[in-house]
Amino acid sequence: MGSKDHSFDIVSQVDLQEVDNAVQQVKKEVAQRFDFKGSISSVDLDKSAKTITIKTENEFRLKTLIDMLQTRAAKRAVSLKSLEYGAVETGMVGGSVKQVITIRQGLTTDQAREIAKAVKEMKLKVQASIQSDQVRVQGIKIDDLQAVIAALRRRDFGADLQTINFR
């Protein structure tokens, strides 16, 4: 990278503290809501495994809890694209159901390749390089880099993209 080159990184990150805040708000609402009175519902965040586990009596309540979580997460600027829903597990003790939601951090290899390919197709004087779970875009003109950012924001890559380290 020459002294006159500029660059930025494309990442997909989730603020786990905001996810934790959303989970705490859902727990508080469950404790206060009349339709959940006497319910054995739980919403738990495992920060190290980056998962949210929802357990409750039936699928209707599970759907309600997921809606509550999505609403709280969206209000706290947590992208719903970063939540990956596992299969609903039924037949547990007492007929309860469980679902595990994985919080996706970083870009997958396929997403990074797709972003790099999209940048190359723009025919601007910039280079895109994949660095583990992020993509670095380098170029001489700042205007070209800003054009890349604008074009990437218009497309959907299946992840919430952020641009960082603009230099």
pLDDT tens figures, 68-84: 999 999 999 998 989 99
CATH number (domain holding residue 149): 3.30.70.860
Domain with 56, as residue range(s), is 16-103
Summarised one tens digit per residue, pLDDT across range 74-112 is: 999 998 989 999 999 887 777 789 999 999 988 888 888
State whether 117 and 79 are in the same domain.
no
In a 10 Å sphere around its CB, with 0-12 CB exposed, 13-18 middle and 19+ buried, how is residue 79 labelled?
middle
State whether 22 and 86 are in the same domain.
yes
Q: Is residue 124 part of a domain?
A: yes
State whether 158 and 115 are in the same domain.
yes
* Nearest-angstrom CA–CA distance, 19 and 7: 30
State whether 84 and 33 are in the same domain.
yes
Give the pLDDT mean for 149-163.
86
